[in-house]
Amino acid sequence: MSAHTRQEISISSMNGYLAVAAGILAVLAGAWLIHSAVMDRMAGGAELAGAALVLVGVFMGAGLYMLQPNETAVLTLFGRYVGTDRGEGLRWAFPLYRKRKLTVRARNLNMSTLKVNDKRGNPVELAAAVVWRVRDTAQALFEVDDFERYVSVQAEAALRHLAAQYAYDEGEDLAPGETTLRGGAAEVGHALSAELTARFEAAGVETLDAKLTHLAYAPEIAQVMLRRQQAQAIISARARIVHGAVTMVEDALKGLAEREIVELDAERKASMVSNLLVVLCSDRDAQPIINAGTLYN
């Protein structure tokens, strides 16, 4: 961070209720002096003192302002930053201070869907929701022109940069266990939050949370990628079916041998294994054929 970056300065304001009481007393006292001077024809000094007290009362009233919880007042005097008041309730500060209110509550930024390229160069659609708030009021108001616009633009830039760091989903070209946009939502969210924090630093803004809200292939390649995913799912399912079928055939042969139900030579075992695998791996119902002959010629 630059040495010339303006930092927030805390300033303590006066209790507004005391200021109201003092202002009312000053006005009443001034009005009484003016009235007494007029009625009793007192010296002109009393009228001047009364008028001064009334002006003091009005002056006290001009410095009043109210702050809600998690709301601040940034005080400036003729263009010079004086400090930031983070008090609550009715407050009083020097009336010539310009008081600009700024909330430090958490805010939501619901980003619109962006079309970007992932690590493989495939066009994908991304959107994210970012929770942020102002951390340093002086930086937010004086270091950037419009901190809300700044947050919006930097969030979009961060999301575009993030998409280029990850592939949409797993594939043979990726290292085992590599994080993807589709499979690593938590890791991607943490990475996005960290990048947003770094980008928002100049504006005195901090990131509370960031998550992807939309993730999809762009329409021009969506159908192709859907067929690719379906093919991968079919291959995975077939591999599982074959593995289960081999295990079942192995158990069947082992059970027949242990119980000595029938003795099969190598050729008949091969035939039995072939038939069982066809039945177990087929995606259609098998039609049974009863062989009434003998096992021996």
Residue with more model confidence, 287 or 253 = 253
DSSP secondary structure string for all residues of 130-194: EEEEES-HHHHHHTSS-HHHHHHHHHHHHHHHHHTTSBSS--TTSPTT--BTTT-HHHHHHHHHH
Shared domain for 88 and 133, answered yes or no, is: no
CA-based nearest residue to 19, from 48, 58, 50, 54: 58
Shared domain for 21 and 117, answered yes or no, is: no
Residue 95 lies in a domain: yes
pTM: 0.68
Residue 290 lies in a domain: no
Residue with more model confidence, 49 or 228 = 49
Shared domain for 163 and 258, answered yes or no, is: no
CATH of the domain at 160: 3.30.479.30
Give the whole-number percent of the chain exceeding pLDDT 90.
34
Res 153: pLDDT: 94
Determine the residue type at 117.
N
Sign of torsion, CA 11 14 16 19? negative
Tell me the two tokens of residue 198: 């770094």
Shared domain for 128 and 210, answered yes or no, is: yes
Domain that holds residue 161: 107-217
Report whether pLDDT(297) > 50: no
Residue 41 lies in a domain: yes
Question: Angle at which helices 185-200 and 147-163 pack, to 10 degrees?
Answer: 140
Q: Which single residue is written with the structure tokens 């079942």?
A: 248
Q: Are 31 and 52 in contact (CB under 8 A)?
A: no
Model confidence pLDDT, tens digit, residues 181-204: 888 888 999 999 999 999 999 999
Shared domain for 112 and 211, answered yes or no, is: yes
Report whether pLDDT(12) > 60: yes
Measure the CA–CA gap between 238 and 52, rounded to whole angstroms.
95
Shared domain for 235 and 249, answered yes or no, is: yes
Res 201: pLDDT: 92
Res 279: pLDDT: 66
Q: Supply the DSSP symbol for 112.
A: P
Res 148: pLDDT: 94
Q: Are 144 and 124 in contact (CB under 8 A)?
A: no
Model confidence pLDDT, tens digit, residues 74-130: 999 998 999 999 989 999 999 999 999 999 999 999 998 888 888 888 888 899 999
Q: Are 281 and 241 in contact (CB under 8 A)?
A: yes
Among candidate residues 80, 103, 126, the one where a domain is terminated: 103
Residue 123 lies in a domain: yes
Per-residue pLDDT band at 150 (split at 50, 70, 90): very high
Measure the CA–CA gap between 98 and 181, rounded to whole angstroms.
48
Per-residue pLDDT band at 23 (split at 50, 70, 90): confident
Res 98: pLDDT: 93
Residue 185 lies in a domain: yes
For all residues of the chain together, what is the average pLDDT? 81
Shared domain for 95 and 154, answered yes or no, is: no
In degrees and rounded to multiples of 5, residue 72 shows phi and psi of -120, 165
**15: CB partners within 8 A, 6+ apart:** 90, 91, 92
Q: Which single residue is written with the structure tokens 């991304």?
A: 126
Residue 9 lies in a domain: no
Provide the number of structural domains found in the chain.
Answer: 3
Shared domain for 176 and 234, answered yes or no, is: no
Three-class SS of residue 129?
Answer: strand
Shared domain for 76 and 137, answered yes or no, is: no
Query: What would you report as the CA-atom Rg of the chain, rounded to the nearest whole angstrom?
Result: 39
Among candidate residues 47, 78, 103, the one where a domain is terminated: 103
Three-class SS of residue 105?
Answer: coil
